[in-house]
Structure 1
Amino acid sequence: MTIKDTLIRGSDSLTKADKLIVQELLANYPTSGLSTVSDLAARSGVSDPSVVRFVRRLGFDSYPAFQKALLAEVDERMNSPLSMFSKVKQPAKDSFGRYLEGCADLLRRTRELNPASEYERVVEALADPDFRISVLGGRYSRYLAGYLAQHLGMLRADTRTIEPIGEEEPYVLEAFGRRDLVIIFDYRRYQADVIRTAERVRERGSRIILFTDPWRSPIARLADASLLAPVESLSPFDSTLAGMAQIEAIVAGLTAKLGHVAEARMQTLEALAVKLRPAKEHNVED
């Protein structure tokens, strides 16, 4: 198993600092691992000793030993037929096909960026009925937040969408506490009022799950779990494809996790929807 495979697999024993290091290594693989301990630590938002302890947990005696193994893997890949094949470009005339291939690559990279254990932690948190869930998005990610909240609302109670909390809304902030789980979408061109909201609810004791890009929103340092999604595309606009795929994967996992509980809730909601429908009007002939 390669170092990259080990990072992708993850482990239940990883600390929060370990997970930040893993995400940085996968986001800029292998470049981040070839920099100094201090540089990797700074990029990951952890201390130098955290990086040293992490590579030891991977099975290396030292950081230089880790880098030596990483260089060996890079050298092997650079000389493999697969690496040459991946450099072959599609004809420019097939722009539609090239774009779809780019989408497939986004999904592949999304899987590489996020250990499976991180998805499992998110599903576990969402399945906890003791949490009240609030979902928050920015200007361009608001629809992703709404899409997730709509599905969560069908599967479990106490789910809502929220807007960034303004300075004139202390009563809104006061309502947050340790019972709250706040899911935040914040991709590059990070939104200041979303970041401030994250800081404020964290101070109130709320937990945070973050959806962001490989460069990571500043909210990552506050989050209990972060899911990264590449956003580059062939168009001038960032892609939300990977973020949408993450949402659907989590919804699928949560549905399976809740099982009959989710099914019973959906049956109840359907019955209530029937009652809310207006009675059919009947035309009466003279």
Structure 2
Amino acid sequence: MSSSDLTISDRIQRKLDELTRAERQLAHSILENYPASGLGPLTALAKGANVSAPTVARMVQKLGYKGYPEFQAELREELKAKAKNPIAKHDAWAEGAPSGHMLNRFTDAVIENIRQTLGQIDPDQFDTACQMVAEPRSRVYIVGGRITHTLAEYLFLHMQVIRPEVVHIQSTSNGWPHYLLDVKEGDVFVIFDLRRYENNTLKLAEMAHKKGAKLILFTDQWRSPVDRLTDITFSGRIVVPSAWDSNVTSLLLIESMISTVQNLCWGDTKDRAEALEDMFDQTMLFRKFT
């Protein structure tokens, strides 16, 4: 991935191990309210992170910027992109739409999203997330938002077969706090929150985190505010020539997780799948051709 493809959050994550203690303190402060945290004066950012102004200047240069104004200008551009609604997104790509059929243009954008997304995912971290979801002693809670509930439901339907103790939280319902009653320390929440980020999702994550649950987040390149609470975050690229964002990279990661967790649980999964097929036969839900 070229440096021009990276968000400031990406740059910070890549450089964390190279930063001094004070610079890491500043980096975490920026990420807590990213990208809005760096929009004020340099002195305000330094004060908020309890570091010196020279520390801010040094870290900004380590991230590849000539100075704080350049760093701040890119933050503003990210904030604009993060806040776009469907109409604004449509206008942004329609004005400079290249020639060629939409199928080709859309596919090219999706392939680039996949390439960039996979380029920044740590395979070991992905394996750890799958092991967390496969852990039989933990209950798994899956939650999405207004649009991402479709991704959550897709993962939930598969996980229901793969393992027991899986709960789909209907986050758009006023009854979602009820699901938190039985959460215990070590339970796992798989959360979907892509722009536009939802207040209910953040509140649910905060309450689950407070109860000792482990959080896995699927989000976009700008990262949901839930990111500051998570054990593992997967940031997928979502921009395509459309008024709506693409969920293809999220779906790729979901299906990869389903396959991995299925293999980890295969002994029990096989028995569960056979029992389910037997019930399907009894209900005659599906047509038989033999």
Q: Normalized against structure 2, the TM-score is what? A: 0.66
Instruction: Give the Å deviation of 1:63.
Output: 7.3
Distance 1:142 1:165, change over 3 A: closer
**Structure 1 SS opposite 2:146:** coil
Alignment correspondent of 1:24: 9
| 2-structure distance, mates of 1:132, 1:210 | 16
Give the Cα–Cα distance (whole angstroms) in 2 for the partners of residues 243 and 256 of structure 1: 20
**CA deviation map 1:238-274 (0-9, x unaligned):** 1111111110111111122223332222112212332
2:166 counterpart residue number: 159
In structure 1, distance between residues paired with 2:262 and 2:14:
33
Provide closer, same or farther for how the CA distance between residues 24 and 116 of structure 1 changes in structure 2, counting only shifts above 3 A. farther
Give deviations 1:81-116, integer Å, cap 9, x for gaps: xxxxxxxxx961233212111111011111023211
Size of the aligned set, in residue pairs, is 228
Could you tell me which residue of structure 1 aligns to residue 29 of structure 2? 42
Q: Please, which of 193, 198, 206 is the counterpart of residue 199 of structure 1? A: 206
Q: Residues 127-276 of structure 1 correspond to what in structure 2 (within 5 A)?
A: 127-164=134-171, 171-276=178-283
User: Is the CA contact (8 Å cut-off) linking 2:31 and 2:228 kept in structure 1?
Assistant: no
Alpha-carbon spacing, 1:67–1:269, altered in 2? closer, same or farther (3 Å): same
Distance 1:263 1:203 in 2: 35
Q: Secondary structure at the match of 2:215?
A: strand
Structure 2 gaps, min length 5: 34-48, 52-57, 67-96
Q: Tell me if structure 2 keeps the 8 A contact 1:212–1:226.
A: yes
Paired with 1:191 and 1:265, the residues of 2 have a C-alpha distance of 35
CA distance in 2, matches of 1:217, 1:121: 21
**Residues 113 and 229, structure 1, Cα contact 8 Å, conserved in 2:** no
Q: CA deviation at 1:40?
A: 3.9
- Secondary structure of 2:129's aligned partner: helix
- Structure 1 residue 209, shift from structure 2 partner: 1.0
Amino acid at match of 2:166: T
1:44 maps to a residue whose letter is L
CA RMSD in angstroms, aligned pairs only = 3.9
Contact 2:145/2:198, CA 8 A, preserved across alignment: yes
What percent of counterpart residues are identical?
22
CA–CA distance in 1 between the matches of 2:276 and 2:246?
Answer: 33
Q: Is the 8 A contact 1:23 1:114 kept in 2?
A: no
Q: Which has the larger radius of gyration?
A: 1
Which 5+ residue runs of structure 1 have no aligned equivalent?
A: 5-21, 50-61, 72-89, 281-286
On the 8 A contact 2:109/2:239 being kept in 1, the answer is no
* Partner deviation per Cα, 1:173-222 (whole Å, 9 max, x = no partner): 32222152111101111100111111112112222111111211111111
- Aligned to 2:275, the other structure's residue is in SS state helix
- Contact 1:26–1:112 under 8 Å retained in 2: no
Q: Which moved more, 1:192-201 or 1:268-277?
A: 268-277
2:131 alignment counterpart: 124
TM normalised by structure 1 equals 0.67
Match of 2:44 in 1: none
Find out whether 1:102 has 2:87 as its counterpart. no
